[in-house]
Amino acid sequence: MSKLWGGRFSGATDPLMEKFNASIHFDKLMYAADIQGSQAYAKALALTGIITQEESEQLVQGLAQVRKEWEDGTFAIQAGDEDIHTANERRLGEIVGSVAGKLHTGRSRNDQVATDMRLWLREEARALLQHLKELIQVAVERAVSDIDVVMPGYTHLQRAQPIRWSHWIMSYAWGWHADAQRLEQLIERINLLPLGSGALAGNPFNVDREFLAKELGFAGVIPNSLYGVSDRDFVAEFLFWASMTMIHISRFAEDLIIYSSGEFGFVTLADAYSTGSSLMPQKKNPDSLELLRGKSGRVFGQMSGFLMTVKGLPSTYNKDLQEDKEPMFDAVETLGGSLQITSAVLATLKIHPQKMAASLSNDMLATDVAEYLVRKGVPFRETHHIAGAAVRLSEERGVPMSQLTVADYQTLHPSFSDDVASVWNYEQSIENRSSIGGTSKSRVLEQAASLKKWLDL
């Protein structure tokens, strides 16, 4: 089988090199994008007059036939099909004959592959955006329905202040909302046309790149051919987006792994997303959450690996760039699964409000004691110290802070009076945090409403 680029070569390729060089086993994933790009290019060639309208139609129809073979699973990859571009063109030739040889006029696999990747990733990114929005929707709906559940909020994984469980859920919803915005912006940067850049210097047949862009649904044309064939920032950015989103998912998973432990017992994972141990009959393991946490490392690895691949590449296309596809494919696949599993885990999670409430302790209201005195006109720096002394006193006596008497409190500061009893109310502490973004009921519901609006629900 003669190679598309075989003209100047006399010796055969080492079979080992042939295998090493080939990308068909993974880039076949882009078969549809490749055909879409070629069909648009065949139309654009006819507009230049370099091929006839009839030839163009033959190419477009032949390409449709090739696509059908991929869809039916009847496309037979052959030895010598180096990549998806050569495979499709080889098959096109078998279907339409020698006119297939006109398709690549003025085009290079360099502008072709960059176009295929942008077309492919654009569609996948749109699908991922949908999954992400579904996840945000699950979070928002859960936050609304669980609004009355209170739990300990943590810093340093130490119990800090009482919060609403829904406030915790919404904290992740906001991270995912930022991820969704980043992805929307990234889709705009992906959505630019490299085709018509040729190998590097541009297209010699004055192909109408604006037409190509329109035909392929791109919002614009990449304005420099060297840049068009070599730019892979959209891949790097996508991998960063994927890493960031996975880090949010991973931290969410980590929280739930902790909350589902026997010691916490705040939540129970649905059976559908946990597994048992092959040895210990009592075990119910949060495998889904652990995999989410684990896969975040995998995606970050794809990003850092790819950045190393492109660092130091001379202008313009270099074969190193063939290494751009597997990280992109893998990240798309991993994110698709992870986003859907995260939604499902959150939607089916059982919570134990009693356990959460039982984990609240008086010392978590020490700040509220300080704030009580602030409301009586004592400067916060002093009140912080006084409340600290109250914590110490309760520890020394071995009783909760609420069991100290008013007289005890008055030994710490004269401004304490009977109404200090009102401090020992977790719900009240929560409702006091009523500025924008706080954990009070109306503020948490407000957050949910604002994301609901953003989701167009």
Q: Which of 2, 98, 156, 435 is catalytic?
A: 156
* Phi/psi at 418 (5° precision): -50, -35
Which C-beta is closer to ligand ARG: that of 317 or that of 329? Answer: 317
> Which of the residues 145, 277, 304, 315 is marked catalytic?
277
Mask of contacts with ligand ARG, 107-126, x by CB under 6 A?
--xx--x-------------
321 binds ligand ARG (CB under 6 A): yes
285 vs 322, beta carbon nearer ligand ARG: 322
Q: Does 306 interact with ligand ARG (rule: CB under 6 A)?
A: no
29 binding ligand ARG? (CB under 6 A) = no
Residue 309: asked if its preceding bond is cis (omega within 30°), the reply is: no
d(CA 100, CA 82): 17
Closest approach of ligand ARG to the CB of residue 452, in Å: 43
- The vertex-134 CA angle with 129 and 138, nearest 5°, equals 150
For residues 378 and 413, the answer to whether their CB atoms sit within 8 Å is yes
- Does 156 participate in catalysis according to the annotation? yes
Q: Taking the complex as a whole, how short is the minimal distance between the CB of residue 46 and ligand ARG, in angstroms?
A: 25
Question: 353 forms bridges with which residues in the sheet?
Answer: none
The alpha carbon of 282 is separated from its chain's Cα centroid by a whole number of angstroms, namely 34
* CA-based nearest residue to 131, from 307, 316, 337: 337
* Pairing mode, strands 158-164 and 192-193: unpaired
Number of residues that bind ligand ARG (CB under 6 A): 10
Cross-strand pairs, 453 = none
For position 88 contacting ligand ARG by CB under 6 A, the verdict is: no
Residue 277 is a catalytic residue: yes
Closest to 234 measured CA to CA, from 321, 301, 136, 155: 321
Among 218, 240, 317, 409, binds ligand ARG (CB under 6 A): 317
Of 300-308, 319-327, 347-355, 365-373, the window that binds ligand ARG (rule: CB under 6 A) is 319-327
Six token digits for residue 323: 């290494």
Cα–Cα distances in angstroms (integers) from residue 60 to residues 41, 217, 246, 390, in the given order = 9, 17, 40, 81
**Closest CB to ligand ARG among 87 and 412?**
87
Contact code string over 198-227 relative to ligand ARG, x by CB under 6 A:
------------------------------
Does 83 participate in binding ligand ARG (rule CB under 6 A)?
yes
Report, as residue numbers or ranges, the catalytic residues.
156, 277
Residues that bind ligand ARG (CB under 6 A): 23, 27, 83, 109-110, 113, 317, 319, 321-322
